[in-house]
Structure 1
Amino acid sequence: DQKAIENIILKGEFADLEVDSITINQGIHILGVGSQITDIPFNINSSNIKIENITLSIKNGIDAFHLDNVENISFVNNTITVDSLNYALVLNNSKINMVDNLIIINEYNPAILNDNGSYILYGENIIRTLADIDIESLNDSILKITVYIVSDDNYDSIFNSAGNFHDDFDIAIGDTLKIANLTNKTIRIDIPLIISSYKDSIISNSTIILEDMASSTNISDLRFKLENTNLNKDFSFIIIKDGVSNLIIENNHFDVSNLIGDSKLSAIKIIGSDESAANIRILNNAFNLSGDSNSISAISALNEGFSSYDDITNALTVLNNKISISNSREDGFSYGINLVNSLNPRISSNSIDVIGDTAFGLYLNKVSRPDIADNEIYENNALVSIVHSDNPTNDIQSAIDSAKDGDTIYLGNGLYAIKDSITVNKSVSIVGGRLLDNIDSNSNPLVSNDNPLFIVSGKNTVNFINMTLILDNNDLFALSKISNSTNPVGIDYPTININGADFQKRNDAVDGESISLVKSISERPIFDSINNVNIENSNLIEGMSQAEYYMFNDSSSNEINFNNGIKTIIMAKDLTFTALDKDIYGNSIKYFEVKLLDESNNPLSNRMIHISYNNSIHDILTDSNGVAKLPVSINSYGIYNLLISFLGDSDYSASFAPGKVTVNKQKASLTAPNKSYYVNAVKYLKATFKDANGKLIKNKKISFIVSGKTYSAYTNSKGVATVKVKLTVAKTYVVTVNYAGDSVYSPISKSFKVYVKKVPTKLIVKNRSYKKSKKIKKLTATLKTKSGKALAKKKLTFIVNGKKYTAKTNKKGVATVKVKVSNRKTYKFTVKFAGGSTYLKTSKKSKLKIK
């Protein structure tokens, strides 16, 4: 009865007190802290009261709370138990709200009596009673439920067989639908709701469909699961139809495992309609989807059974999602995000990892004005920068056009069929990708008629790294456009660096000599040193032309005045060597020779020859035979395009000639013998690395790949690399051993087998003899490996007279059973060991004689 008290905290136990009840006559907040109240009811006679976190148990045949003509009463997170035919709450002309309460009535009585014009705003609570109804509302009282919980237990009372709400189910705009454990169900939402999880429940093999007037619905914190399922029709966890808009789908988990079937799965699917689905936000969700299926997608917007609409979605936002997809189907598709015919999507800060025969992290076809930034995308374990569509050429070109100088564009390891030349007019690195040249090429020697994969221009440096190029007859990899500089003889040219490329013929009928690596076209003769094409660690097609220079003058070019003396000729012979390891052979030098002749083929001695080589100009005087020798190192791989110049003098005119020095990688040998181990043995794999001359190669990293795991070690002074591996299942393993290659040695890969066998076992069983009168008759057996090691804790089965007895071996490998036989005779019995993952099965027969 004291005044001006705003809060009361109840701590500890309240029981056996000399009070019949507690009456509250003023607005107050009652908070329980570890409180336990027994047989003390509450009478609430004042408004503006909050009762929170108390535990009240009534066992003496009275109501727990009685409320009379009050309003703004809140019950939050309380536990109320009544063990008699009474109520937890009795309301008389009162207004309350309830959330997160647990009410238990251990009799056939409703939990709450809502009487005489009372009003209950009912949130998320749990009521357990033996009665048929939880809340009894009488005399114009109102029960307004704002939070509904649906589970397998009550699904049929809320939804019909099609998944729609029953017509008489009182759910309204803005209400909350909590989803508990649900299996094999469909929920169709046609009004705006808040949909969330009930206590971290699992929604298995079930679908939520948003349709009609479901715009402005929020779906959050749900955990969807689909596992061990054979799909015979397309499936999605969330389907958005008919232009449903203004949605938020956030913080949900989508888990799919062991999925098989010929149908398609898309965790979230937006279906095309004649009305755009606008302002859908898909935020902070996690997708872990794996299976063997036709197609697996995390998020898709598709036309299904409709015409091709221009705007399935408008202003779709996909932000901060984590997507992991693995599709093991040989011809299956994996899509992280798959959108068609959409406008203004924003796709940002997502982590996307997709694996499949055809894998696309982002696939956007006929999508206008996309805003894509800061996504981390891996396709088949390779980093990718590309947004895919049905035009791979445009996809790569768009990535280049939007890149800045110095950026790296990752193509992954997917196949790109290129139908038009790709222009590169900035300094970028392009990494990975398998590019199939589908450009119409011809053998016309005029460069202007060639159709290269790439056209590179400007004073830019373009790096092509770890690409696979699949080329046809007359194909050209890159066209380098050399332009006039500001001075009369200068030129501006791009630098093309090719590293780790694998050039392949499209088929065996392709003529390698018709294929060109790089052609450079210049508007004026080239006097400067130019080595604008650099190739490292790449496999070229045999016979392909590596670097060609052409000159095209136009009327605006600055002309160069040649001396009109005796014509000269430079004779240069291209050289090809095999790289020699400096650690084995020391510094290795060969000589590139050129010969300067006059028009009558007479050698010109003591004339200065300028040779551009390896980004330097080397000035060398010809000897008495007109020969100039340039020392070149052959300690590492390289293809060097040389330009040889004689600038002329008072007697002789200038002349120019190209040259080439090729230092090929050495083909080393990698040998690894087959191995055999028992499953419980320590296992080592070895490989020996030698060069082409049989010399042992040390300090090189060798990789062993077995069962999807990679082990690595460096070769020792004997050229041997050794790794310790863990192979715990008895079977035959195929091991791939490889060396990735370097500036001296080509990549090499070999396979060998490791046979892992179960350990053979043996049983030692002696004949036994007992008198019939002996009450306890025992049989023993000893289990050992073939090498004699006792095996403990192994189950042995004794079969005697048609009955089975089992026992486990002790630390000495001995198992003992008691048997029941009574007739005087000799019994044959068998002892069996079933084996396991480590040990082979075995059995042994013996005899038991009863005298």
Structure 2
Amino acid sequence: MIGVVCAEDNNVTENATNEDFQAIQILIDNANPGDSIYLENKTYQGSGSPIIVNKSVNVYGVDSSKTILDASNKSSIFLISKDVKVNFNGLTLTNGYNETKGGAIYNLGILNITNSKISSNYAESGAIRNEGTGKLTISNSLFDKNCGSFGAAIDNYVGYLNIVDTTFTNNDCLEGGAIYNRFGEFLVYNCTFINNSAARGGGVYNNRGGMYIYNSRFIANNVYDLGGGIKSWGSCEVYNTVLINNTAKQGGGIYVSEFTLIAENCFVENNSAHWGGGIAVEAKATAKIKNATIINNLADRGAGIDINMGSIDLQDSIVNNNVAKYGAGGIYFALLSSTVKNTYICNNIANTSGGGCYIYGFRGVVVNFTNVIINNNSASKGGAIYSTGTANIQNSILNSNNAYKGGAIYNELNLTVKDSQFFENTADSWGGAIYNNLNSFIDNVVLNSNEVKQFGGAIYNEKLVNAKNSLFESNKALQAGAIYSTNDLIIDNSQFIKNYVKRNYCVLMLSKGDVNITNSLFKFNTNADEGGCIFNYNANLLIDASQFISNDARSYGAAIDNSGNLTIKNSLFYKNKAYGAAAIDNSGNLVIIKSNFTDNVATNNGGAIDSNGKLIIIGSIFKNNLAGNNGGALILRGDTTVTHSIIYNNHDKNGYAIFNKGVENISLSNNWWGSNNPDFEKLLNMGTSDDFNWIIMSFSSNNQLIQYKNSILNINFDNVKDKMGNVYKINSTELLPIFKIALSNYGEVTISNGFKSMNKNIPLITSISAKIDNQSIILKITPTNKRIIDNKNIVVDYNGKVTYKVRVVGVDGKIVGANVAVVMKIAGKKYTVKTNKNGFVSKLFSLTPGKYSIITTYKGFTVKNSITVKKVLYAKSITKKKSKKITYSVSLKISNGKPIAGKKITFKIKSKTYTAKTNKKGVAVVSFKNLKVGKYSVIVNYLNSKVKTTLKIK
């Protein structure tokens, strides 16, 4: 696109000697096309008429600082006609004047200007007006102090314009301080625009044309409306260009509307505007910006970039240290969806909202951030991002941002964050990392070391947060180190570790709403006054399949402090510590189902739970919990039901597992207390009635237990016993917890639903025991008198070979070792076989279909078994009419009817042998040729299995 068209000079030259335009006009009129005219180092004065160039000529000055054409503000200097090629070199064109078009030059031809200066000219349309058929190329020139209404230096109207190595300074205009382009195409390469001014487009204004700018500089240009450096209402591409210290109402560096802006490798610094200090994009324009540096810009809104009713695709760029008086220190997004990738948005400031980015949700704006680092930005709301639209963030880092609310993000509509990190963000009031006011979805996100002076070290939630597969670690707050929620909250498969508060509600504060927590871990959270992990003020809270491990609270509830509605299922509370209520402090409604409370410690009351509200416990485990005062496992101050549960080895100062503070409505039936005959006087204080049933354990077998024999062992926890000694079946065994039994010689056995039946091979032992807690039951075992065991009758389909195996017991009752001789007798033959190291002896026999008796003998002890080999080869005698070719078929299939494919079958007839393989249906077919009338014997073989048939030909 960069090109300079130079007419080739003829040998004839003319010199102008007089000092006015008329002298130059005469030379041009007398010249032949292609002639060169050389002007002396002097000033040529205009007398009110421009110089008309209607033929192809060259006009050369010796030195542009000395060869001056001065129109004295009386007329234009040159009028260039259509279809002529003109070169100007080494000229100064000054003080040209035209009320309409081209104060210095009005060009309709092909004009090249080099090494020249165009200054102090005036026209409504540019010092140079390049129009229609005009093709204008300018290089190594200067435009200074020109003024007009449209393009003080150049007005390009439907023409072609190329500018190279040229400087534009101090030009002033209404539209396009230096250049105004209407419907034309123009290129700027390695040019400088300094201190130009206009209402719109301080350096360049592109009006529905095509503009291409390369390797150029826009410095200290200013407008009072749009586009301090560049304004484009057309296609605009800017490459490797610097825009510094430009000012405007909108778009201090660049303003683009309706069309597309492509900007690559650009440097946008210290520009200022009301909107869009660096770049402004609006009126449905699209900006594609790559490898840009946008720093130190100022604006009321969108100091770096203002996308107002437009869209942007921003990649591989830096938006740094921009300052907004109000919102969007870095980038403002509105109306259309945008994308930001591989970009740094750092150190930006907004005095109100969105230090890094502000997303305005009008008409459903969506902004997608991918591989973005948003760092050290600050604002009143949303240090990194303030959004009333939809923000999607993926594979990004948001760190060290600060705000009054929402240190990193303040969300008013829809927020999705995936595979990202938030760390060291801070807020003065709520939400160290995120303040959520509507819907937030968080997946595989790390929130680490975020801090707030008041509520919600990581997140403050007012509507709905859905967090899964995420890590909340080392966040800090006055209250709620991780999340402070006033509404609905969903947490799944997440971890809350080492979060810290200065006062209470360590990890989660739940004031109301529906809250679900599943498959999550709370561990090493510290320093809360009440509710080391969760403080449930008035929410409907469900916890399922979660773990609370090694948390602490200074006063009550190292895991949970509940005054709302709480249901806990399938969860673990382990090694939590508090002054009181080591695991849970309850003053609301609490239901616990199939959960485990183990090794929790309270300095005062309630080794596991202190309940002042309604408590229901079903199918749960309380073991090894400790209270320094009352209630090793539970201290009860309200209505309580505990059923189908395990309560063992819990102690307070008096040894009690459960301490009743004068509550009448308590039910403790159908629980396991560690033995079949618990001492309730040592387990319960006198305020609790012992008129209830308790679970007992039983251990039995379905048959006599004999060494080396398989037996069915049964372990039961599905019976209850009352104080009168009556035993009943317990209802709803599916509610029972898992019982773990130490079964001698077999290790640990888990019992679900209160019963387990096991088929076990009994070793060389005299008894077997089942033990749990303080209960042990022993079953006697009868020694075996057999020497050969594991002998079985065998039934197989024929495949050529059969393996028979037994095991040998020595005279000492133990399984023998290797190389012990055993005799096997089958089909009239004897075989001596030796045992392996595990006492097994086996023999492979080649047996054809049939039923066989096998006798095994060891030191006078004999066992007898049968081996049945089922036939698989099926062939029939047939009769066929005489023909040249007789087909004959057989089938191969196992006993369940499944065919055997791909096997070789042989057929023997009249001393000839034929072969065929079975097809996928298990059928093998052969053809016999030239058989005469008569009866033939056909012998069919598969491996060693033989079938005799007849074939009759008639």
TM-score (structure 1 length as normaliser): 0.40
TM-score (structure 2 length as normaliser): 0.36
Q: Which has the larger radius of gyration?
A: 2
